[in-house]
Amino acid sequence: MFDKPFSQACENNKEPILEVLKRVLVDKTNLLEIGSGTGQHAAYFAPRLRHLEWHTSDMPDKHLGIAAWLEEVKVNNLHEPLSFTIGATSAWPLTNTDAVYTANTTHIMQPLESQLMMQLVANNLPIDGMFCQYGPYNFQGQYSSESNQSFDQHLSEQGCGGIRDIDELTLWAIPLVLIETIPMPANNYMLVWQKQ
């Protein structure tokens, strides 16, 4: 029997994230989740955002775990994972995307991959399209907490790209504009971008 993957962080942050998504995606219809990971967020959010077609995506080796979570949620607005690997796949996997969501991906990616993700989202969202980006971020070169500084050191040791600075993301994201920076649990933030 296949054991579903599980992330405690997903359990801890799903309610605060949902409150933001309910508010900022109220008029959106077709969402791509970049890096669905375990699939927990998609399985929790889609039934509570029934106006939104929620499309999961990740590297192919994550698909079995995502599908296991999706299998337990019997809603018709939640879709099987698309193959999408930033840096390996330049083709956008979904037409008519008016919203994008990603959680805890930006600091895992190498800087060039983070830059590419920002540009792909900016290029493929329509005017007024929304991008909700959750995770730890730096502000003007400064860590927001000592724990984030330690976490960044750990990321570096693991070969990950590390915590990105909001100023850097803002440059990469044009013509997306950062309209909200919302403090979240465990020294994370939700960045809410809108295409102008």
Q: What is the tally of structural domains in the chain?
A: 1
**Residue 21 counted as domain residue:** yes
**Residue 79 counted as domain residue:** yes
**Residue 1 counted as domain residue:** no
Query: Any bridge partners for residue 78, and if so which?
Result: 54
Contact indicator for 61, 70 with CB cutoff of 8 Å:
no
**Residue 44 counted as domain residue:** yes
Helix orientation angle between 166-173 and 111-124, rounded to the nearest 10 degrees: 40
Distance (Å) of CA 13 to CA 16, 60, 131: 6, 25, 18
**Residue 2 counted as domain residue:** no
Specify the pLDDT at position 89. Answer: 77
* DSSP conformation class of 104: S
Is the pTM for the entire model greater than 0.95? yes
Specify the pLDDT at position 1. Answer: 58
Specify the pLDDT at position 3. Answer: 82
**Residue 3 counted as domain residue:** no
**Residue 55 counted as domain residue:** yes
Residues of the chain with pLDDT under 50: none
Q: Residue 191 belongs to a domain with what CATH number?
A: 3.40.50.150
Residue 183's domain spans which residues? 8-195
Specify the pLDDT at position 165. Answer: 98
